[in-house]
Amino acid sequence: MKNIIKKIINPITMTHWSYDLLFAFPRILCGYFLAVNFGGSKFGVPWSPTGSPELGFLEVVEWFPKDIAEYGGVFAMFPVFFAWMGAASEAIGGMFLALGLKTRIASFFILCTMLVAIFFQKWDNGIWGMLPAMGFLWISIYNLILGSGRFGVDYLLTKKAFNS
């Protein structure tokens, strides 16, 4: 069991620390933008321009499950579940990606969310409309394979836990 956990969280490091630093920039920026700009907007914000906090919260939260339900199939059966899972994978997964914490697990959930976004939401908008989701998909793919590198919490955890 220890070997399985080590394979999941132990990042691959490059031959020189400068390569790891260069490798960390897209991960950190992608995680930040995914958490703040994309995932954070899907969680309700208790504010309304009309002055009623409750109304503002409900207005923000309701649009995303309705959008998910329009995908049809299993998404129409459980739109609230998939809406919250998508928002959580973007917001929480984005924070984990930026920190380099549980990078491969967060990358897997981001990858799944971006595939759904590309094929179910952005497909009819053409390649230009798909570019943000495709960018997050590409970043999640290489972080799924390589992990956080030397500049992430995973590296510190595995170095201490497994004496790597």
pLDDT in tens, 5-25: 777 888 888 999 999 999 999
Whether 86 is covered by a domain: the verdict is no
Could you give the 3-state DSSP secondary structure of residue 79? helix
Whether 78 is covered by a domain: the verdict is no
Residue 105 near residue 8, CB atoms below 8 Å:
yes
Q: What is the pLDDT of residues 82-133, one digit of tens each?
A: 988 998 899 999 999 999 999 999 999 999 999 999 999 888 888 998 999 9
Structure tokens at 99: 């920190």
DSSP state of 41: G
Range of the domain at 22: 2-43+91-162
Give the predicted TM-score (pTM) of the model. 0.83
Residue 43's φ and ψ, nearest 5 degrees, are -85, 145
Looking at the structure of the chain, the number of domains it has is: 1
Whether 64 is covered by a domain: the verdict is no
